[in-house]
Amino acid sequence: MKRIKWKNLANSVLPVFFALLIGAVIMLAMGHNPLNAYRIMFERPLFTLRGLTNTLHIAGPLLLAGLAIAVTFRSNLYNMGVEGQLIFGGFLAGLAGAYLHIPNPFLHKFVCLVVGIIAGMMFVLIPAILRAFLRVDEMVVTLTLNYVMMTVLEYLSSGPFRNQGAGYVSTNTIDKTAMFNRIGKTRLTPFFIIAFLVFLLFFFMHKRMVFGYRGEAVGKNPEFAEATGLRVRRHIVQVMIISGALAGLAGAGHMMSHEFNYTLSFSGTPGIGWDGMLISLLGGHSPAGVLIATVFYSALKTGSDNINMYTGIPKEIVAIIQGLIVLFLSIRFINDRFGLTKRWRNKRNMKGTVHGTFE
């Protein structure tokens, strides 16, 4: 067990280490001190009040997106449509915030969040049913539906629901009663508290409830799990719906605490959903790991402006480091998806057995 934990830790730490190492080499080639750059990059976002609150503000939707990925990965499912579910949840939450004029701020926020959650659940239901009952590869379906949703929302935001008074493509701004107000003079809003409470619930479900153990059983051996009486099809649908709900909540929260209207760059580049996948891989698909990876990744994003301001190093260096982390983690993802290491070991063992037989 300890060996497995150390292996999982190494799988998370080494990609970051090598990415930072290559980033340091690039900084040295540019004539800058990488140690000073990394100190500024992480000191201000994590160890100053303003920087930490900015980091946590960005971390809210990312934490939920990471959990949305992690909950499926642990059951050996691959919901690659978190980005589409997130922007759909944000879009519908934005419409609820702009067109439903509810005087009570608490009720208005609650309605918008519920709308976002339902949107994410509805969007993931199609690939969930296809995977559970027809064994259609959910990774392909969810990945494809991302681009379908982006195209649909581009049409809706630039046509029927466009804000005619804006000089760019956007929907109407949500009412103030639907906005999460800032806490004090910081950028942090109560939505981060909601995201953290959801994390605690997910952590409890994973560690203490039957749902967590059932997910691990289905993920490791679905045939054996079904033979022992577990309803694998129902579990697949449940897990995918929970993932979609988390993604939709992330989109709604991002709308109500940061964007306030839907634009074509609502989720950013590469997108909160895609960042969530990196965070889940970096955190080893465990709740605690996802939380740590979220804070680290958020600090990396907020630190890009600091490194440019205080060292003169272009902030694009952070994008390079992020890309390198994705590159190194993608190797692990491909291995987890297709079992390349396991196949290689089995092939090597078979060759050894054959040689031993002939000898």
Write out pLDDT tens, residues 15-31.
Answer: 888 999 999 999 999 88
Torsion (CA) 168, 110, 292, 342 in degrees, nearest 10: -90
What pLDDT does residue 190 have? 96
Token pair in block for residue 87: 């922007």
**For the chain, first and last CA: distance in Å?**
36
Res 149 pLDDT > 50: yes
| Domains of the chain: residue spans and CATH | 2-358 (1.10.3470)
**What is the rounded average pLDDT of the residues 139-158?**
94
Q: Is the backbone peptide bond immediately before 61 cis, with ω within 30 degrees of 0?
A: no
pLDDT band per the 50, 70, 90 thresholds, residue 224: low
**What is the rounded average pLDDT of the residues 235-244?**
92
How far is residue 238's CA from residue 126's CA, in Å, rounded to a whole number?
12
What pLDDT does residue 161 have? 95
Q: What is the pLDDT of residues 279-329, one digit of tens each?
A: 998 888 888 999 999 999 999 888 877 887 888 888 888 888 888 888 888
What does the angle CA 253 – CA 256 – CA 258 come to, to the nearest 5 degrees? 90
137 vs 66, more confident: 66
Q: What is the pLDDT of residues 155-178, one digit of tens each?
A: 999 989 999 888 889 999 999 999
Least confident of 183-187, 221-225, 286-290: 221-225
What pLDDT does residue 295 have? 94
Phi, psi of 263 (to 5 degrees): -125, 170
What does the angle CA 53 – CA 56 – CA 60 come to, to the nearest 5 degrees? 145
Q: Which secondary structure element, helix H or strand E, spans residue 350, and what is its range?
A: helix 340-358
How far is residue 105's CA from residue 95's CA, in Å, rounded to a whole number?
16
pLDDT band per the 50, 70, 90 thresholds, residue 53: very high
pLDDT band per the 50, 70, 90 thresholds, residue 209: low
Phi, psi of 228 (to 5 degrees): -85, 0
| CB proximity list for 62: less than 8 A, separation 6 or greater | 250, 272, 275, 276, 279, 294, 297, 298
Helix axis angle for 82-99 and 105-134, nearest 10°, is: 150
Q: What is the pLDDT of residues 248-258, one digit of tens each?
A: 999 999 999 99
The residues that bridge with 263 in the sheet, in sequence order, are 170
**What is the rounded average pLDDT of the residues 127-131?**
93
Token pair in block for residue 211: 């749902």
pLDDT band per the 50, 70, 90 thresholds, residue 1: very low
What pLDDT does residue 281 have? 87
Q: What is the pLDDT of residues 54-111, one digit of tens each?
A: 999 999 999 999 999 999 988 888 899 999 999 999 999 999 999 999 999 999 999 9
Q: Which of 128, 152, 359, 154 is nearest to 245 (CA)?
A: 128
Exposure pattern of 44-70 as b/e (b: 16+ CB <10 Å)? bbbeeeebbbbbbbbbbbbbbbbbbbb
pLDDT band per the 50, 70, 90 thresholds, residue 199: very high
What pLDDT does residue 152 have? 95
Res 340 pLDDT > 60: no
pTM: 0.88
Average pLDDT, the chain: 86
How many residues can be counted in the chain? 359
Q: What percent of the chain has pLDDT over 70?
A: 83
230 vs 93, more confident: 93
173 vs 229, more confident: 173
